[in-house]
Structure 1
Amino acid sequence: MSVASRRTLDDPGVFEEFLTLVGEGDEYGAVEVVDELLDGGVPPQRIMIDLIGGTQARVGELWAANRWSVAREHAATAISERALAAVAARTNVRPSRGRVTIACVDGEWHALPTRILAEMLRLDGWRVDFLGANVPGPHLVTHLHQTGPDVVALSCMIATRLPRAHAAITACRAAGVPVIAGGPGFGPGGRYAQRLGADAWAAGAEEAVYRLARNWPPHGQDPQLPAYLADEEYTYVVRNRPELIGTAMRQLTGAYPAMRDYNQRQLDATAEDMAHIVDFLAAALYVSETAVFTDFVAWTGSVLQARGVPPVALRVGLGTVQSQLRDFPAATAMLTAGVRLING
């Protein structure tokens, strides 16, 4: 390839082409693009973060806007993973730093961001154990005892996983291994990460690489941090989750007449939405942060609107859960805040 024809990330057409390729499931075309960029001298870090990571964010936006189906989103993610693997295959670096374990918390299936972090850390000289998605806490701890890493990088993309993230962080620190947390599930600026006991938080792969290389290990945690955050309201919601969802579905059928004409697929989707309402409410109660719940309500409202579901459906759905929790002031206040958000 001549110098004049070298491809760079300065050309916005590269991003559009790559998005088209992953959207069409064209693995070979996507790999060709990253190979051409590498041949043209583009740093692999920029390909992973800007092209692959940026495209994946765009894929999520297209799904939320109801322009891409779940199946297409999943297929595109698989192609992005293959392109990432192609970059990794051409950028081997011998370890010169310590050993890091990278994992998604139990129940967390969004593994591509952590895979990008794994490859970024390999390029920076770390020996990486990438455990992938949905790693149960006991399995993570067993791995730590078997391998003795210097640090665990733990990802939580969705706030409903915060209680499990807390359990994993606590177990890692009990094993003597510090934790750097990442992912939007830990809240804006990682506000819940320290509360759950993490030693540090990073906004993305680049920041994690920087912190681990230059500011690690961090200063010790505040010994006054609570060891357990859940209270009786959280415990009640979790223990009674099936009943809360089932009762809400029965009440919703009567309170929202349009639901009587739903087919089975629509009923299943509604039940899933009600489960998310209960799960995000539980997560908000766990960390005592209303924003965990209201941020979810705002996002769900936009997703449902893109799918032709009127705001009144979500408002009624929130009301069916609220009516069951009248004796729980924190939960009631959070649900009221969610309803007001929809009304506004």
Structure 2
Amino acid sequence: MSGTGLLAGDLLAAGEDYLRCIGRADEFGAVDLVVGLLADGVPAERLLLELIAPAQRRVGELWAANRWSVAREHGATAVSERAVAAIATRVRPEPTLGRVTVACTDGEYHALPTRLLAEVLRLRGWRVDFLGANVPGPHLITHLHQSGPDAVALGCALATRLPRAHATLTACQAVGVPVLAGGPGFGADGRFARLLGADAWAPTADAAADRLAGGLPSFATPSQAPAHLADEEYTHLTRRRGELLTGAMAALAGAYPPMAAYTAHQLDATAEDLGHILDFLAAALYVDDVEVFTGFVTWTRGVLQARGVPARALAVGLRIFRDELRDFPRARHMLVRGIEAAHDRGADLET
């Protein structure tokens, strides 16, 4: 069967085979599958975006539903990284366009989507410097001085990384390099990329390649700190994070009796969950968007319930933070909305 005429259903069936391979951490099986499809004429870009990317989204869904363990999820991702590398070593177009630096923002460890972007750009004729996950801003700027790219493609998967992404994109622009933002952390419609002053935004790797092919991003108005940050709620919350987390763990022990029987592992997981609540609250304050927080709470509710943790436990934690942050009107409003999302109904809305 010619890959150029491969039907969507055929590639879907191949995707099921691929998911089974990565689910077993079968590196050789996954690589053989993609190499075989390449040999049959399936374009490399289709394999990256229509085989590997959907499989990785499915991996995340299976973990969230508690059907796959963290270890299995990590194994699957490692195999997908090898599959991407196998494609890259076999399809090497000569660069005919400019140079693009591709990197994950500081603190962002979800590197595979950004790696897929890097490979799509290479396939489209760009010379690409892929710097990987968690690239500290100052080191990225040093690289820009050394390499002189035409643009930076900055990936951000989680909204909690937006403050660092803001600092990074501002620094890139300050040295004369425009920034193309991408990844769900910037919002499904790119609203936070625009808010924070990115030169352009794209929702997918192929859309990013199309955007660059249409001309380099033009410089936006120099990014300024969003006006709503003048109330300093974000700053105070981030500075008090440790204190708030310690106090919440102590208060939760009294407000949620089942916690008395928690193992050390469960206590650590609870502290981690409370920390995520504070981090997403801080991100929502930074961009002044309550949906950043309520979306996280809704997702967390589903993840916890899949693991047998009732929504009540999440709501109790949110109430504790709500009561502690009584002098923070924006944060308190977001927490009230979060309590509603935790219950999936309009209960407990008293302020």
What TM-score, normalized to structure 1?
0.96
Partner of 1:174: 174
CA distance in 2, matches of 1:167, 1:27: 38
CA distance in 1, matches of 2:22, 2:273: 28
CA distance in 2, matches of 1:221, 1:29: 46
- Do the aligned residues in 2 keep the contact of 1:8 with 1:40 (CA within 8 Å)? no
Instruction: Kindly provide the CA deviation profile for residues 82-119 of structure 1, in whole angstroms up to 9, marking residues without a partner as x.
Output: 01111111110111111100000111000001111111
What TM-score, normalized to structure 2?
0.94
Partner of 1:303: 303
CA distance in 2, matches of 1:313, 1:302: 12
- Do the aligned residues in 1 keep the contact of 2:181 with 2:200 (CA within 8 Å)? yes
Instruction: Kindly provide the CA deviation profile for residues 117-140 of structure 1, in whole angstroms up to 9, marking residues without a partner as x.
Output: 111101111110000000000000
Partner of 1:93: 93
Q: Write the mapping of 1:323-334 to structure 2, written as runs, cut at 5 A.
A: 323-334=323-334
- Do the aligned residues in 1 keep the contact of 2:2 with 2:41 (CA within 8 Å)? no
Distance 1:7 1:37, change over 3 A: farther
Q: Write the mapping of 1:24-35 to structure 2, written as runs, cut at 5 A.
A: 24-35=24-35
CA distance in 2, matches of 1:228, 1:292: 16
CA distance in 1, matches of 2:2, 2:37: 12
User: C-alpha displacement at 1:8, in angstroms?
Assistant: 6.6
User: C-alpha displacement at 1:222, in angstroms?
Assistant: 3.6
Partner of 1:227: 225
Unaligned 5+ runs, structure 2 = 346-351
Partner of 1:197: 197
CA distance in 2, matches of 1:292, 1:3: 44
CA distance in 1, matches of 2:93, 2:16: 30
Partner of 2:76: 76
Q: Write the mapping of 1:243-254 to structure 2, written as runs, cut at 5 A.
A: 243-254=243-254
CA distance in 2, matches of 1:100, 1:227: 26
**Structure 2 letter corresponding to 1:145:** H
Instruction: Kindly provide the CA deviation profile for residues 30-62 of structure 1, in whole angstroms up to 9, marking residues without a partner as x.
Output: 011001101111110000001011100000000
Q: Percent identity?
A: 60
CA distance in 1, matches of 2:173, 2:102: 15
- Do the aligned residues in 1 keep the contact of 2:197 with 2:220 (CA within 8 Å)? yes
User: C-alpha displacement at 1:22, in angstroms?
Assistant: 0.3
CA distance in 1, matches of 2:290, 2:173: 28
User: C-alpha displacement at 1:322, in angstroms?
Assistant: 1.1
CA distance in 2, matches of 1:49, 1:166: 27
Distance 1:91 1:3, change over 3 A: closer
Partner of 2:342: 342
User: C-alpha displacement at 1:3, in angstroms?
Assistant: 6.6
- Do the aligned residues in 1 keep the contact of 2:150 with 2:216 (CA within 8 Å)? no
- Do the aligned residues in 1 keep the contact of 2:2 with 2:42 (CA within 8 Å)? no
User: C-alpha displacement at 1:318, in angstroms?
Assistant: 0.4
Partner of 1:41: 41
Q: Write the mapping of 1:277-292 to structure 2, written as runs, cut at 5 A.
A: 277-292=277-292
Partner of 1:145: 145
SS of 1:154's equivalent?
A: strand
SS of 1:252's equivalent?
A: helix
**Structure 2 letter corresponding to 1:192:** F
Partner of 2:17: 17
Q: CA RMSD in A?
A: 1.6
Instruction: Kindly provide the CA deviation profile for residues 202-258 of structure 1, in whole angstroms up to 9, marking residues without a partner as x.
Output: 00101000000014233x4245x5335534100110000000111001000000000
Is 1:114 the equivalent of 2:108?
no
CA distance in 2, matches of 1:3, 1:108: 39
SS of 1:188's equivalent?
A: coil
SS of 2:106's equivalent?
A: coil
Q: Write the mapping of 1:57-68 to structure 2, written as runs, cut at 5 A.
A: 57-68=57-68
**Structure 1 letter corresponding to 2:29:** G
User: C-alpha displacement at 1:278, in angstroms?
Assistant: 0.4
Distance 1:19 1:250, change over 3 A: same
- Do the aligned residues in 2 keep the contact of 1:22 with 1:30 (CA within 8 Å)? yes
- Do the aligned residues in 2 keep the contact of 1:8 with 1:42 (CA within 8 Å)? no
SS of 1:216's equivalent?
A: coil
Partner of 2:349: none
SS of 1:323's equivalent?
A: helix
- Do the aligned residues in 2 keep the contact of 1:105 with 1:136 (CA within 8 Å)? yes
**Structure 2 letter corresponding to 1:260:** A
Partner of 1:315: 315
User: C-alpha displacement at 1:150, in angstroms?
Assistant: 0.3
CA distance in 2, matches of 1:332, 1:84: 44
Partner of 1:207: 207
- Do the aligned residues in 2 keep the contact of 1:8 with 1:37 (CA within 8 Å)? no
